Amino acid sequence: MSKLSKLYELRRLSQEFGMEWTEKQERQLESEEEHLIKNEVLPVVTKSIEPALSQVERELVLVVDYVPGSPLKISLSRKRNLFHALEDVVEIKPDPEVEHTEKKKGGKKVVTNPRTRLKITMPDGSIIEESTAWESLHKFVLKVGVDKVRAVGLIANKIPLVSNTVDKKYQTAQKPLGNGWLLMTCSDTATKRKQILAIASHIGININVDII
């Protein structure tokens, strides 16, 4: 059962037993709905509808009206400011693709440093120490929460550290975190250590990170 399904079930049980459904829980539910639309619906829409729409030479707005159990409805408007009067409109879009400058061949030879690892001591005393630095970073992100790390807003190699867009240049270094999220791991161990410490500081936990 997905996190979204669990939240729906929790809300249903709250209503059934007269329990309080808090504003925080409602925001969580909305966030999961938006996450699903961004990572599962938007890619399908982009792939299927965008090529057909390319035949249209004027700007327009399409509104998808979804009611569970009812046929899908699509409305059209040529007024781009249609949503300005609506307070709860949320724009959902993937992270933009980034153009990378290719380095010229030749020049100074790059000296590769010996491979190092990371040892992360968590507040509860547990230790994350994987065979590679990126695996330790990956495990740390999963442990503290992908959404929390995404909210920190760290950028690595011009793209978000946690992104929902596959980068053309660094796609092999983007490791899956689940639910469409990808972790940028193309950096040296010292940089990964700084990233982990920045995340910990932002979410308010005290950890030790050692390069070994």
- Look at the block and give the residue holding tokens 């932002």: 202
With beta carbons less than 8 A apart as the criterion, state whether 169 and 163 touch.
Answer: no
**What's the rounded mean pLDDT across residues 114-132?**
94
**Tens of pLDDT, residues 130-149:** 999 999 999 999 999 998 99
List the single range of 3-12, 33-42, 194-203 with lowest mean pLDDT: 33-42
- Top pLDDT among 180 and 188 is at 188
Percentage of the chain beyond pLDDT 90 is: 47
**Tens of pLDDT, residues 54-87:** 888 888 888 888 899 899 898 888 877 766 666 6
Which alpha helices (H) appear in the chain, and where do they start and end? 3-16, 23-36, 42-53, 133-144, 146-152, 189-203
CATH 1.20.1380 fits 118-211, yes or no: yes
**Does the pLDDT at position 158 exceed 80?**
yes
The domain ranges of the chain are 3-85, 118-211
**Does the pLDDT at position 111 exceed 60?**
no
Residue 63 and residue 54: Cα distance in Å, rounded? Answer: 17
The pair of three-digit structure tokens given for residue 170, joined into one six-digit string: 């660094």
Which alpha helices (H) appear in 90-132, and where do they start and end? none
